[in-house]
Amino acid sequence: MPKPGFKSYALKEKLYGFWRNEFESNRDELRQQGITSFSAFLTSLLTESLEKSPPSNSPIMKMVYLKEGLLALQDNLENRLIELTIKNGKIKCLYDKKDDCMHVGFAYSIPEVNKLLNK
């Protein structure tokens, strides 16, 4: 149970591990920004994503992050961050739990993703 006034948030283990590793790898830099806990790190990611909300004439989707087999897309129709995995030359959407949804289709159109797939 979280402390009074707080809520908890569940992440899939793979995503938790990825973001925990990012936090640990950048701990010194984050500390300089006043981010001293993993929870504060996740809150800063969410806040940053919301602050980058695109104007109404923006594209339906855009790439936000691509690193080590994890791709994040901003889906402006769903108004949410969508995470996809890239493994063994295939892309899978963790939101739709499919490899043939519109997020995966968009991911295949991104040049950086194609470079990664062709390695």
Backbone angles phi and psi of 30, in degrees to 5? -65, -40
Please give the chain's pLDDT, 119 residues, in tens. Answer: 778 888 888 888 888 899 999 999 999 999 999 999 998 999 898 888 767 655 566 788 999 999 888 999 999 888 899 999 999 889 999 999 999 999 999 999 999 998 888 87
Q: Give the Cα separation of 47 and 29 in Å (integer).
A: 18
Burial, 51: exposed, middle or buried (Cβ in 10 Å; 0-12, 13-18, 19+)? Answer: exposed
Q: Residue 80 is encoded by which pair of tokens?
A: 């949410």
Q: What is the dihedral of CA 107, 111, 116, 119, to 10 degrees?
A: 130
